[in-house]
Amino acid sequence: MPENFRLKFTIEGIPELSRILMMAHKKVTDFSKPLWRTAKLVLADVEQQFITEGALSGGWAPLAQSTITGRIKAGYGAGPILQRTGALRRSFGADVTKNRAVMSSRGVPYFKYHQSRRPRTRLPRRPMLVMPDRTRQNIVEEFHKFIRFE
């Protein structure tokens, strides 16, 4: 009897995509190829978030005037949002194994404060890792293609 395949992506502990693919996976044990392809899709969305200042998640809150003033005084200019030095934008990457892909910011400790869904008092939420419907559909299709032709 064929086994079904479970696909699950979470962002900050909340399932963003959870689907059982109703097709036999033919005892495939190495899913690194479709995981790399899907990681690239998610990282492309991260890049899009920076380019559009959060359009995929409804837009990021504008910078506070005090932040803009401080950036200008320090010689960085008034914008763009979350890109004073570019370190955060450059920090995103993926770690992929045979059965898991983790996309995150590497070595930038303040990423988690912008991404977090926790209640806030001062720092607005400006998520970089998002999963729009288009990306969800593309991820499922990548795995369907992989399972079909592997």
* Domain count within the chain: 1
Q: Give pTM, 2 decimals.
A: 0.86
Confidence band for 47, pLDDT divided at 50, 70 and 90: very high
For residues 85 and 10, give the distance between their C-alpha atoms in angstroms, rounded to a whole number. Answer: 28
Q: Which of these ranges, 13-17, 88-92, 107-111, has the smallest mean pLDDT?
A: 13-17
Q: Which residues pair with 11 in a beta bridge?
A: 14
Strands (E), the chain: 5-11, 14-21, 92-96, 101-105
Residue range of the domain that includes 56 = 5-149
- At 24-37, the pLDDT tens digits run 556 778 889 999 99
**Rounded CA gap, 114 and 107, in Å?**
15
Residue 20 makes CB contacts below 8 A (sequence gap 6+) with 4, 5, 6, 7
- Of 15-19, 114-118, 139-143, least confident by mean pLDDT is 15-19
